[in-house]
Structure 1
Amino acid sequence: MLDTASETTLLSVRGLSVVADGPDGPRQILEGIGFDLKPRQILSVIGESGSGKTVLARTLASWIAAPLRVTAGQVLFKGRDLLADRAYARGLAGREIAYVGGNPAGALDPTMTVGAQLVEKLRAVRPDISASDAKAKAIRLLQAVRIPAAERRFHEYPFQYSGGMMQRAMIVDALISDPALLIADNITQPLDVTVAAQILKLMRELNSEFSTAILFICSSLPVACDASDEVMVLNKGRVVERQTPDRLTAAPQHAYTSALIAELPTLWQEGPQRRRPAATEKPIMSVRGVSKAYETRGKSGKALVQAVRHVDFDVFAGDNFGIVGESGCGKSSLMRLLTGLERPDGGQILFQGEDVGAASARRLRELRREFQLVLQDPYGSLPPQSPIGAILEEPLKIHRIGNRAERRDRARAVMSEVGLHPGLYESLPTGLSAGQRQRLNVARAMILEPSLLIMDETLSALDQTEQGKLLDLFERLQAQHGFTYIFISHDLTMVRQVCSRIAVMYLGEAVEVAPNDRLFFDPGHPYTRALLSAAPTLELRRYRPEDCLLEGEPPSPIDLPPGCAFASRCPQAFDRCRSQNPALLSRGGQALAACFLNPTNEATHV
């Protein structure tokens, strides 16, 4: 833990209370919040959805507006009350107090290069600095956050950055004015485990190098403990506990903290695990040598992005099949192929023996009654102006199922099944929480009674408690209806709980496919070990990050290297790896891996 006892307090919050005004009167969001933060200190704020974390972050950044309203308290920055002097507070925003959110995709102007926006931001807060000096500083910071080829990336547009690089670019945007306080609001939640681990490591390094105090808002207790000097626990808008990570996890002082710890899923130890169904011998979906490339234009002309490359696996009826990997590994591209949203360039996707890629548009619509997709974004995936009942009835109308009364009855029945009160039938989804919205998305997929549900990062936007509730729902629905699930996710703890078999993707390829226990206790690929070493957990790790954790970005899918695409990041690579690409071969026991380090048998499908 960082010793900051001798340093002057930078931020002092005293008795802060915030309400949300509504038709039924004000609703308390924060009540009596108080804490101090010193330079070079990292304080994590943890709590479930609705605890007030983001409202606290935005209040400190002077970003709250109606219907939110501060009713009491002080926010003292260097001894001066930001709540009493709003002009002073606005002058600090983006200069001495910086904010980074968890949705970097919409934070930058898509029509300007990333570098131009960084320079514009710096010169707005530092008009005395020249354009060349601002550019030099921006490139130095891009290098500091480990953006590969920073000078070239400086001239690229936001859409050319991966999710992990965008998050690092937003950290640069926040740090470029040399702020004294950085407010990081759930910046790792949407990221895969290796990129999130790099961001946390980077955050600690920048905290030390620039003497920046950091308030780290987080929904994952293991991530909060890994990131900070102290952890502050919020429950229903109140601070219930503040301790060092070691003391908090070893001897929690509040029942709410104890409950959060007890609910944590485990990767290797005995803990709260869920039923993982046994695979049958009948494939419901078979993926055979599937590839997909996308044409793109660059400075040197047209090029092909190799998004999915020769992927093979089977999903068995009644199975829970997981697909994991870093941002940019091809998971989402594969999802579009599995659901028939796009057709593969090569290979086959067989659903109950029928080739989805070769199906006519009419036949594909008929097949979609049997497989449905539930997307990641609980907000953007629902039409905000349509009532909940109309959203649920739409698939029935498209497939001409039932009359008006029958569709209404079916919609209400499905709402009850997923835990939504039927009284919400005429309500708009805008009033629902993130967890309720995902229940609505599940209900919309279920209403056609499909046999296969494909979950594309469905739980990644939810906190630990909401994830647990949705996983309970999935388990119950599977027991009642016999669904088969494909979980596409970067959350290894969730996959560990629910999936019986798992495929690991890297740069468009499936580099490992294995049963759950085999993958977590005896992985056959160095990339899998790197993912496991970076997974947030309070357990003693089986794989040490210092031995396995990856630095930098994967090679470009436009210009693939010869040999194994992982060789440039693999600590165990040797000459053969750089000239030959290993095939996905059997390791025995239904496990396959594409690595020359494994004794292999003949290639096969599992």
Structure 2
Amino acid sequence: MLDGAETRTLLSVRNLSVMAGDRTILDGISFDLQPRRILSVIGESGSGKTVLARTLASWLSPPLRVSGGTVLFQGRDLLADPTHARSLSGREIAYVGGNPAGALDPTMTVGAQLVEKLRAVRPDIPAAKARDKAIQLLKAVRIPAAERRFNEYPFQYSGGMMQRAMIVDALISDPALLIADNITQPLDVTVAAQILKLMRDLNAEFSTAILFICSSLPVACDASDEVMVLHKGRVVERQTPAALIASPQHGYTYALIAELPTLWQGGPDRRRRVPATERPIMSVRGVSKAYETRGKSGKALVQAVRNADFDVFAGDNFGIVGESGCGKSSLMRLLTGLERPDGGRILFKGEDVGTASRKRLRELRREFQLVLQDPYGSLPPQSAIGAILEEPLKIHRIGTRAERRDRARAVMSEVGLHPGLYESLPTGLSAGQRQRLNVARAMILEPDLLIMDETLSALDQTEQGKLLDLFERLQARHGFTYIFISHDLTMVRQVCSRIAVMYLGEAVEVAPNDRLFFDPGHPYTRGLLSAAPTLEPRRYRPEDCLLEGEPPSPIDLPPGCAFASRCPHAFDRCRAENPALLSRGGQALAACFLNEPHEATHV
């Protein structure tokens, strides 16, 4: 039972309205939030979720303006006293967003910045204790080798690690209110599950109130005590997660639930069926890549990709999944020729990408293209949309000026962008429109292979569905082959015919879609599936499969299977030998000794 201090209202919002010029963004928002409570705010892109978060954090900037209402925090109106509101920001009220890029000073180590933040808020804490607390929180959000990573710079962190570092930055001052704006959307399922657990622990231990802005209804329901649904700037529903799922009261909420992609129960099937005898368009054979890093003890090698081995067939939708830091992005750079492998071969239509000359690699890039994750940072903001689309044609000296213009307009129409935007800048586009532009820029050269690196991870559920429908139409029309690199298992389940699961740089399982989701051959795959957000009954229970502990450091890998330290089934051989991919029949492979029948007695 909550005591009196915990039943008081910490945050009280009444009739809050926000305008952008003469357009209403938030319309009469009202809710209360108590200490030790988590309120999730769910809604599609454009519903006003982030505007609400930034208003409460006193980070609203023109042309947005508050047009009415009150925001009482600990009894004082933040809107009536902006100076007091700013004094609370980063101390009593902490905000963390879902885009960590550029959030930290690149000239200072991550640890130094965390310590500086804590001591600015709590100058009475000695530097040594501040350092200990920062490392403790880095461990809590599962930063591998936290003591060493404490001394690294932001550029040495992966995207997922940077997101976790920003969560630590928000938590380090023990705020009374934490505003978490889509913080799990860029993260893989196991890290997201750990972040949600960390939020609940913080919520219980320090009586912190948490406003959790979210684009995934299953994540929102997992995370919170109540769910508030925003639609077109208005609150249309607020219920407990169980009540919301069992009996949605508003048509918009009902539609959100009905549109949810599923992992095991029916749902749309966009997967292509690929004959086993078809010739691969891309073959990866024993590929490895290590990066040199410097630390206090001198130089070391980060083993980013290790002995990766798989085939991608023409017309295939091939998925690559795994936790942050597993090597997905490093592998992407190798597949696209942005970097050369240290060992092994990457064959595109039989030609080795890793040894191709720069001239030949440029020619090959007409035939395979990359679409990146960030819908904002991946487009030049001062170039018109038409110029962005025509640039690849100019580089490859394709067509006359008029032909390039016609081709750009045709591709815009094909991806769902109005040709009238040709002269416009991308700054006015939504996140979904920006990704359509990125897809158009990739497909304007009519490639045979599109590599999608977390292309949908920054989008909400509705926008993701629209883009997946677009990919399906484009594939049917042009015969593209797709490689989907993603941490989103529900998206991979919908669209991929075959899937590779990566762990610490290795492909530990490669299998057809149904086989992977209904009969996984590696304990790590079962761990990923047990952590995937869903409203369905789970086939794999988190308490049986959820991964505990930290992955080994990619700098100091142990002998044997790298997963052995986190595997509930590991035995002595696992700690001495690293298993190769073993056939499980039906095009399924898994790197686990448990697939050898004679080893069953060791389990």
User: Are the counterparts in 1 of residues 12 and 33 from structure 2 also a CA contact under 8 Å?
Assistant: yes
How do 1:390-469 and structure 2 match up within 5 A? 390-469=387-466
Aligned AA for 1:187? I
Q: 2:493 aligns with which of 466, 491, 496?
A: 496
- Residue in 2 that maps onto 1:223: 219
Aligned AA for 1:411? A
**Residues 385, 527 of structure 1: alpha-carbon distance in 2 compared, 3 angstrom cutoff:** same
User: Are the counterparts in 1 of residues 372 and 455 from structure 2 also a CA contact under 8 Å?
Assistant: yes
Aligned AA for 2:255? A
| Whole-angstrom CA distance in 1 between matches of 2:425 and 2:508 | 43
- Residue in 1 that maps onto 2:331: 334
- Residue in 1 that maps onto 2:565: 568
| Whole-angstrom CA distance in 1 between matches of 2:579 and 2:499 | 19
**Residues 569, 376 of structure 1: alpha-carbon distance in 2 compared, 3 angstrom cutoff:** same
Pairwise CA distance, 1:94: 1.3
User: Are the counterparts in 2 of residues 2 and 229 from structure 1 also a CA contact under 8 Å?
Assistant: no
Pairwise CA distance, 1:309: 1.2
- Residue in 2 that maps onto 1:587: 584
SS at the partner of 1:597? helix
User: Are the counterparts in 2 of residues 583 and 595 from structure 1 also a CA contact under 8 Å?
Assistant: yes
- Residue in 2 that maps onto 1:172: 168
- Residue in 2 that maps onto 1:604: none
Pairwise CA distance, 1:57: 0.3
Q: 2:274 aligns with which of 268, 272, 278?
A: 278
Q: For each residue in 1:155-184, what CA deviation from the matched residue of structure 2 results, as whole angstroms up to 9, or x when unmatched? A: 443344444443333333222322211101
User: Are the counterparts in 1 of residues 272 and 497 from structure 2 also a CA contact under 8 Å?
Assistant: yes
- Residue in 1 that maps onto 2:484: 487
Q: Which structure 1 segments of 5+ residues have no match?
A: 602-606
| Whole-angstrom CA distance in 1 between matches of 2:433 and 2:540 | 36
Pairwise CA distance, 1:559: 1.4
For structure 1, which segment, 264-273 or 212-221, has the greater mean C-alpha deviation from structure 2 after superposition?
264-273
| Whole-angstrom CA distance in 2 between matches of 1:130 and 1:343 | 46
Pairwise CA distance, 1:151: 4.5
SS at the partner of 2:595? coil
Aligned AA for 1:574? F
How do 1:189-588 and structure 2 match up within 5 A? 189-279=185-275, 281-588=278-585
| Whole-angstrom CA distance in 2 between matches of 1:6 and 1:431 | 43
For structure 1, which segment, 223-232 or 351-360, has the greater mean C-alpha deviation from structure 2 after superposition?
351-360
SS at the partner of 1:559? coil
Q: Which structure 2 segments of 5+ residues have no match?
A: 599-603
Pairwise CA distance, 1:91: 1.4
For structure 1, which segment, 388-397 or 518-527, has the greater mean C-alpha deviation from structure 2 after superposition?
388-397
2:112 is the counterpart of 1:116: yes
Aligned AA for 2:11? L
- Residue in 2 that maps onto 1:83: 79
Pairwise CA distance, 1:135: 3.5
TM-score, normalised to structure 2, is 0.96
For structure 1, which segment, 223-232 or 298-307, has the greater mean C-alpha deviation from structure 2 after superposition?
298-307
Q: For each residue in 1:187-244, what CA deviation from the matched residue of structure 2 results, as whole angstroms up to 9, or x when unmatched? A: 1011111111110011111110110000000010000000000000001110000000
**Residues 218, 520 of structure 1: alpha-carbon distance in 2 compared, 3 angstrom cutoff:** same
Q: For each residue in 1:15-42, what CA deviation from the matched residue of structure 2 results, as whole angstroms up to 9, or x when unmatched? A: 0000112xxxx21110000000001000
For structure 1, which segment, 460-469 or 87-96, has the greater mean C-alpha deviation from structure 2 after superposition?
87-96
How do 1:27-106 and structure 2 match up within 5 A? 27-106=23-102
User: Are the counterparts in 2 of residues 118 and 176 from structure 1 also a CA contact under 8 Å?
Assistant: yes
User: Are the counterparts in 2 of residues 147 and 552 from structure 1 also a CA contact under 8 Å?
Assistant: no
**Residues 583, 70 of structure 1: alpha-carbon distance in 2 compared, 3 angstrom cutoff:** same
2:7 is the counterpart of 1:11: no
User: Are the counterparts in 2 of residues 264 and 272 from structure 1 also a CA contact under 8 Å?
Assistant: no
- Residue in 1 that maps onto 2:20: 20
User: Are the counterparts in 1 of residues 271 and 496 from structure 2 also a CA contact under 8 Å?
Assistant: no
| Whole-angstrom CA distance in 1 between matches of 2:540 and 2:130 | 41
Pairwise CA distance, 1:133: 4.1
Aligned-residue CA RMSD (Å):
1.9
| Whole-angstrom CA distance in 2 between matches of 1:331 and 1:141 | 25
| Whole-angstrom CA distance in 1 between matches of 2:480 and 2:260 | 26
SS at the partner of 2:594? coil
Aligned AA for 2:392? P
User: Are the counterparts in 2 of residues 585 and 600 from structure 1 also a CA contact under 8 Å?
Assistant: no
SS at the partner of 1:104? coil
Pairwise CA distance, 1:462: 0.6
| Whole-angstrom CA distance in 1 between matches of 2:171 and 2:318 | 41
Q: For each residue in 1:389-445, what CA deviation from the matched residue of structure 2 results, as whole angstroms up to 9, or x when unmatched? A: 111111111111111111111110000000000000111111111110110111111
User: Are the counterparts in 1 of residues 141 and 194 from structure 2 also a CA contact under 8 Å?
Assistant: no
Aligned AA for 1:235? H
- Count of residues in correspondence between the two structures: 597
User: Are the counterparts in 1 of residues 187 and 324 from structure 2 also a CA contact under 8 Å?
Assistant: yes
For structure 1, which segment, 195-204 or 176-185, has the greater mean C-alpha deviation from structure 2 after superposition?
176-185
Pairwise CA distance, 1:150: 4.5
| Whole-angstrom CA distance in 2 between matches of 1:364 and 1:149 | 37
Q: For each residue in 1:463-522, what CA deviation from the matched residue of structure 2 results, as whole angstroms up to 9, or x when unmatched? A: 100000000000000111111111011100000000000011111111100000000000
**Residues 123, 359 of structure 1: alpha-carbon distance in 2 compared, 3 angstrom cutoff:** closer
Aligned AA for 2:170? A
| Whole-angstrom CA distance in 1 between matches of 2:24 and 2:461 | 23
Q: For each residue in 1:297-319, what CA deviation from the matched residue of structure 2 results, as whole angstroms up to 9, or x when unmatched? A: 22232222221111111111111
SS at the partner of 2:492? helix
| Whole-angstrom CA distance in 1 between matches of 2:2 and 2:322 | 33
Aligned AA for 2:442? A
**Residues 425, 166 of structure 1: alpha-carbon distance in 2 compared, 3 angstrom cutoff:** closer
User: Are the counterparts in 2 of residues 564 and 577 from structure 1 also a CA contact under 8 Å?
Assistant: yes
TM-score, normalised to structure 1, is 0.95
User: Are the counterparts in 1 of residues 457 and 488 from structure 2 also a CA contact under 8 Å?
Assistant: yes
Q: For each residue in 1:526-572, what CA deviation from the matched residue of structure 2 results, as whole angstroms up to 9, or x when unmatched? A: 01001101111101111111111112332122211100111111111
| Whole-angstrom CA distance in 2 between matches of 1:456 and 1:580 | 32
2:182 is the counterpart of 1:186: yes
SS at the partner of 1:462? coil
| Whole-angstrom CA distance in 2 between matches of 1:296 and 1:149 | 14
Aligned AA for 1:386? S
**Residues 413, 164 of structure 1: alpha-carbon distance in 2 compared, 3 angstrom cutoff:** closer
Identity in percent = 89
| Whole-angstrom CA distance in 2 between matches of 1:179 and 1:11 | 13
SS at the partner of 1:357? helix
User: Are the counterparts in 2 of residues 329 and 505 from structure 1 also a CA contact under 8 Å?
Assistant: yes
**Residues 125, 577 of structure 1: alpha-carbon distance in 2 compared, 3 angstrom cutoff:** same
SS at the partner of 2:112? helix
- Residue in 1 that maps onto 2:601: none
| Whole-angstrom CA distance in 1 between matches of 2:499 and 2:142 | 30
User: Are the counterparts in 1 of residues 6 and 35 from structure 2 also a CA contact under 8 Å?
Assistant: no
| Whole-angstrom CA distance in 2 between matches of 1:93 and 1:495 | 38
